[in-house]
């Protein structure tokens, strides 16, 4: 079992200095708007994934008017305790250490203490463009397969180089042409690996998501009315990336970017054979979001042998009581994760967690 026992924050968002201990598997965090509930979850996210879930740049989470921040977390996995330290130095350099030993590369930490977040803005995963769904899959695969992350990093680097070359007015020179050949070769190797990893993973993941959706959306009394289906779409289903790049070379030179590849993959969701994002109600979208995230947690648990930390930010809005009950039941007892749940209403949180019938800790900020 993975447990966060204690966290200490310095100059992190609205916290000048703050320490909190966690004694239970389920932790409710309540308080009015702006008190720092989401910020606390974000600090936990840093401990697992070395970065913010909500802010693109580390500087944005440094307390206004200060320089640098520090997050410390005491994590327990089985009998082993680990002190994780994340420091953003005044010069903007981020340092990460486990029990005082610094990591050479931040990516080496990813997957050690997995974290799954469900937050209101995650709705873009359903309603937004394909980039959102790709980064969901990438983040998930990176947490369970360190090799995948390295291939992805290289793919993105070659893609940037190839796109820069396609924009270069001197692209037609013989030396640039041969550079393009080399980049195509490298991009194709990495892209093919990514495609095959995504295929293998999604073959079992998609049915899991559909099953999770079914169990969140169905109630004891009424059978499920919605049927959804999810499919993986990739240019690489037509032909290998190597020949795709060769065939699209002219088009790419015209467009000045790489038009074919795994950076254009998508997950397409339909309900009653129509696009889910157009047809679904807000509650249905939210249910699908939870299904994706719960399936993510389940996969991590399968691969790692222990469940990730679950961070649920403001999840009660827009869900009917039945769906809340199903969701909490799943995260609280079945998933085996330590769960952190925020809500503005202490009463509602207390009531929902009490209904679960398992011990919980309520923190008022």
Residues 328-347: x/- map of binding to ligand ATP (CB under 6 A)?
Answer: ----------------x---
Only one of the segments 33-41, 111-119, 233-241, 244-252 lies at the binding site for Mg ion (rule: CB under 5 A); that segment is 33-41
Binding flag, residue 112, ligand ATP (CB under 6 A): no
In 3D space, the residue among 34, 41, 30 whose CA is nearest the CA of residue 346 turns out to be 30
Q: Which of 27, 30, 36, 330 binds ligand ATP (CB under 6 A)?
A: 36
Taking the complex as a whole, how short is the minimal distance between the CB of residue 332 and ligand ATP, in angstroms? Answer: 21
Please report whether residue 39 would count as binding Mg ion according to CB under 5 A. no
How close are the terminal C-alpha atoms of the chain, in Å? 26
- Dihedral of CA atoms 123, 126, 131, 134 in degrees, nearest 10, equals 110
**Residue among 56, 64, 80, 220 that touches ligand ATP (CB under 6 A):** 64
Place of tokens 């070379």: 249
Least Cβ distance, residue 341 to ligand ATP (angstroms): 12
**Partner touching 170 among Mg ion, ligand ATP, none, CB below 5 to 8 Å by kind:** none
Span from 36-44, 117-125, 203-211, 331-339 in contact with Mg ion (CB under 5 A): 36-44
Single out the residue of 4, 61, 289, 335 in contact with ligand ATP (rule: CB under 6 A): 61
CB of 156 to Mg ion, least distance (A): 30
Q: What is the rounded distance in angstroms from the CA atom of residue 145 to the CA atom of residue 142?
A: 5
When the beta carbons of 9 and 165 are compared against Mg ion, the nearer one is 9
User: Which part of the chain contacts Mg ion (CB under 5 A), choosing from 31-39, 57-65, 136-144, 214-222?
Assistant: 31-39
Q: b or e along 316-349 (b: 16 or more beta carbons within 10 Å of the residue's beta carbon)?
A: bebbeeebbbbbbbbbbeebbbbbbbbbeebeeb
**Which of the stretches 30-38, 57-65, 166-174, 217-225 binds Mg ion when contact is defined by CB under 5 A?**
30-38
Q: Is 38 in the site for Mg ion (CB under 5 A)?
A: yes
Q: Which residues pair with 343 in a beta bridge?
A: 30
Site for ligand ATP in 12-31 (CB under 6 A): 13-14, 31
**Is residue 45 near ligand ATP by the rule CB under 6 A?**
no
d(CA 50, CA 87) in angstroms, rounded, equals: 10
Counting residues that bind ligand ATP (by CB under 6 A) gives 16
The single residue among 37, 133, 151, 162 that binds ligand ATP, judged by CB under 6 A, is 37
Position 63 contacts ligand ATP (CB under 6 A): yes
209-240 core/surface letters (b: 16 or more CB in 10 A; e: else)? bbebbbbbbbeeeeeeebebebebebbbeeee
206 binds, among ligand ATP, Mg ion, none (CB under 5 to 8 A by kind): none
Q: According to the binding rule CB under 6 A, does residue 38 interact with ligand ATP?
A: yes
Q: Is residue 223 close enough to count as binding ligand ATP by CB under 6 A?
A: no
Under a CB-based contact definition with an 8 Å cutoff, are residues 302 and 211 in contact? no
> Which residues of this chain interact with ligand ATP, rule CB under 6 A?
13-14, 31, 33-39, 60-64, 344
């Amino acid at each position: 079992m993975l447990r966060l026992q204690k966290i200490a924050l310095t100059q992190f968002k609205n916290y000048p200095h703050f320490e909190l201990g966690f004694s239970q598997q389920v932790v409710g965090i309540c308080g009015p708007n702006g008190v720092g509930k989401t910020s606390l979850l974000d600090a936990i996210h840093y401990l697992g994934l070395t970065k913010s879930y909500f802010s693109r740049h580390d500087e944005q989470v440094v307390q206004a008017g200060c320089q640098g921040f520090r997050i410390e977390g005491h994590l327990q996995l089985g009998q082993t305790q680990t002190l994780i330290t994340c420091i953003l130095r005044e010069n903007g350099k981020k340092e990460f250490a486990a029990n005082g030993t610094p990591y050479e590369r931040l990516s080496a930490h990813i997957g050690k203490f997995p974290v799954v977040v469900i937050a209101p803005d995650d709705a873009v995963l359903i309603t937004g463009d394909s980039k959102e769904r790709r980064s969901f899959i990438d983040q998930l695969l990176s947490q369970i397969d360190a090799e995948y992350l390295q291939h992805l990093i290289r793919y993105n680097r070659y893609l940037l180089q190839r796109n820069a070359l396609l924009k270069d007015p001197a692209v037609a020179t013989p030396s640039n042409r041969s550079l393009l050949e080399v980049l195509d070769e490298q991009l194709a190797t990495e892209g093919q690996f990514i495609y095959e990893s995504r295929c293998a993973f999604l073959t079992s993941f998609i049915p899991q998501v559909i099953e999770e959706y079914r169990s969140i959306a169905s109630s004891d009394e009424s059978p499920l009315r919605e049927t959804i289906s999810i499919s993986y779409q990739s240019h690489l289903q037509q032909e290998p990336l190597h020949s795709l790049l060769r065939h699209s070379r002219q088009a790419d030179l015209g467009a000045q970017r790489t038009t074919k590849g795994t950076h254009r993959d998508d997950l397409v969701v339909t309900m009653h054979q129509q696009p889910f994002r157009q047809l679904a109600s807000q509650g249905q979208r939210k249910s699908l979001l939870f299904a994706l995230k719960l399936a993510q947690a389940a996969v991590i648990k399968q691969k790692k042998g222990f469940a990730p930390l679950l961070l649920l930010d403001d999840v009660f809005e827009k869900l009917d009581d039945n769906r809340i009950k199903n969701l909490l039941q799943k995260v609280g007892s079945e998933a085996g994760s330590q769960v952190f749940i925020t809500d503005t209403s202490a009463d509602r949180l207390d009531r929902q967690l009490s209904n679960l019938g398992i011990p919980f800790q309520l923190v008022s900020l």
